[in-house]
Amino acid sequence: MTNPLLSNWTTPQEMPPFDEIEDVYFKPALDAALTEARSEIAAIADNPQAPDFDNTIRAMELAGETLGRVLRVFFHISAIDSTPERESLQKEFVSALSAYNAEITGNEALFARIAQVWEGREDLGAEEARVTDLTYKSFTRAGAALRGTDKDRMTEIKARLALLGTEFSQNILADEREWAMPLTRADLEGLPDFVVATARAAAEERGVTGHIVTLSRSLIVPFLQFSPRRDLREKAYEAWVARGANGGETDNRAKAAEILALREERAKLLGYASFADYKLEPEMAKTPEAVRDLLMQVWEPARAQAEADAAVLTSMMQADGINGDLEAWDWRYYAEKRRQAEHDLDEAELKPYLQLDQMIEAAFDCASKLFGLSFKPLDTALPHPDARAWEVWRGERLMAVFVGDYFARAGKRSGAWCGSLRSQDKLKGDTRAIITNVCNFAKPAAGQPALLSFDDARTLFHEFGHALHHMLSDVTYPSISGTSVARDFVELPSQLYEHWLEVPEVLSQYAIHAETGEPMPQALLQRMLGAATYDMGFQTVEYVASALVDLVFHEGTAPEDPMATQDKILSDLGMPHAIRMRHATPHFAHVFSGDGYSSGYYSYMWSEVMDADAFAAFEEVGDPFDASVAEKLETSILSAGGSAEADLLYKNFRGRLPGVAALLKGRGLDKAA
């Protein structure tokens, strides 16, 4: 029996043959790929020739190709369609991979060769020197220079962290999968048609009759916005924020404490004062102090705006005859009422104009105007029936394959993300990326168009900005391809691309009513854009609070009780009563499901400082699609991957680094006291 994960793929554009891949193939494919990768690494380490770039660094870039291919397919499928069998495999895989990675970074002969090439890196070309430097530093930061018991302990820590991160993520998914709130006919009163339809579709997807609310953001947020039933809002909200903190096997609180303690120990083994110092060293921010400085510059005006808004919302609630404090499950409901009153803007009125298919076309069209890309539907097997694929071309050159998977469903990881099933490189020809955008929008009833909120549409553009970073990548080595950049720089292309959603000519063309086919009226368009910074105090406070908690968790001694520490941090900040962290510790997947955003959740805001300034480059020439500025953006940032330090890449584009003023202005907080 041929294992499709190990065979040559003759599918269109060498896409993974998803229609042939079954769970039974993953374990033998991983075993075979690990054996092959170990053999390749051993050949490099044991090479009798003197180490040079080609026989050491370049050879490492080529090693593990089959392993990478198997893992990208497996982890993508596991994220978008989790099952108990796949969750069990995932735990087994992360343990095997942790051991494999420890073998590599612990291979003293291999590290000696890397160090020798690194010492002579000044004689290499720019890209080769960069890859060599990053390789050497990744080994030292992984503990390659450790010896004896310290080395053994580092291996143990990394193995345990890999397993804990996987379990943390799976626990959140389990809580999301298990909870649903049935709605009676009376419970539906006051809800817009699109919320009712989404609740009905959610019930159908779970195989039950009637209507339900799930913990999918695309359903629970509009329910909190529109349901007049305060008791149901409270029940739904408390379930949403309790993910990972419900007791029993899926409770993440003890896991968070252990993760933080192990991270601190890991950093100190490497000689760092704290995990934050270790983690931030290769980022643009460099130090915890720089991160805190940025976040506090934003916190004070955001908190002031949020407190002023809370007073208005409280008076509205009391006018409804409800005494007492404004609560977290009240905010979105009264904020939506206020938006309707002050901006004459009703999300139920907006949604028919924001069709998913039209917003996809809008994102494609902007990429065409800016970078000359065209998109052709690709007929091939895909990882889920909801997914769709396109070839991305520039003239006669294939630039990428793009896969979109947009709808929420049970078993799918929450949130939105961009991934890759193949990265761009030039090691063996012009290899182009296969990119995935995964979202969790509400799936419509059969035969009905999918309608988005403006925030949903912004998410679509955001993730497509990440995809462009992959599509336009033009480097030789896979380790610096696409989004392989500093964590606090990686969000720049994505957040920058969001700006094109607000370009009036884009919305005038693509914001088309689902029933009438008429474009959004100019008056409604202007009201929508005019309300772009509405409720920004709330949005900024819930985000910055999460980023500050993340920072404090990692910049000192690991807390024995993260929940008590979280509460103290928020109290010291003066967190408004009716606003909670965007991600409370037990479901803070960015920080605890892996090391990616640990000590790094601030990075969205760090990148936002740049994205406001970067879009200003187009505004300064009076054309959001100016060809010369777009070309400079591509050559300086989007095509460059991680081929240079992030601050240098940005300076190549704008000539300097920006300050926080543009961010505050963009969020409408520049006048908040």
Give me Rg for the CA atoms of the chain.
Answer: 25
- What is the signed CA dihedral for 178, 184, 190, 192, rounded to 10 degrees? 60
Give the closest residue to 420 by CA, choosing from 392, 439, 401. Answer: 401
d(CA 155, CA 142) in angstroms, rounded, equals 9
Q: How far apart are CA 365 and CA 373, in angstroms?
A: 8
Paired strand residues for 425: 431
User: How many whole angstroms separate alpha carbon 318 and alpha carbon 325?
Assistant: 9
3-state secondary structure of 439: strand
DSSP lists the bridge partners of residue 391 as: 376, 401
User: What is the rounded CA–CA span in Å between residue 56 and residue 49?
Assistant: 10
Comparing CA positions, the residue from 162, 116, 155, 154 lying closest to residue 135 is 116
Q: How far apart are CA 619 and CA 391, in angstroms?
A: 31
CA 287 to chain centre: 22
Classify the C-alpha dihedral 84-86-92-97 as positive or negative: negative
| Nearest-angstrom CA–CA distance, 112 and 289 | 34
Of 264, 336, 391, 463, which residue is the catalytic one? 463
Tell me how long the chain is.
Answer: 673
Q: How far apart are CA 483 and CA 475, in angstroms?
A: 12
Chain centroid to CA 68? 20
463 is catalytic: yes
What is the rounded distance in angstroms from the CA atom of residue 166 to the CA atom of residue 580? 25
**Measured between alpha carbons, how far is 158 from 96 in angstroms, rounded to an integer?**
12
Amino acid code (one letter) for 390: W
Amino acid at site 205:
E
Residue 344's SS3 state is coil
Distances 401 to 361, 386, 421, 494 between C-alpha atoms, Å: 16, 17, 10, 18
Contact 29, 3 (CB under 8 A): yes
Q: List the strands of the sheet with 417-422, edge to edge.
A: 374-377, 388-394, 397-407, 433-441, 417-422
Tell me the C-alpha to C-alpha distance, in Å, between residue 29 and each of 2, 5, 6, 97.
11, 6, 6, 13
Helix axes 230-241, 328-343, angle to 10 degrees: 120
Contact at 8 Å (CB) between 366 and 499? no
Contact between 154 and 143 under an 8 Å Cβ cutoff? The reply is yes
3-state helix/strand/coil string of 23-52: HHHHHHHHHHHHHHHHHHHHHHHCCCCCCC
Distance between CA 657 and CA 424 in Å, rounded? 28
CA distance 630 to 626: 6
- 198 — alpha (psi -120 to 50), left (phi > 0) or beta? alpha
**Cβ 361 vs Cβ 377: under 8 Å:** no
> What positions carry a catalytic annotation?
463
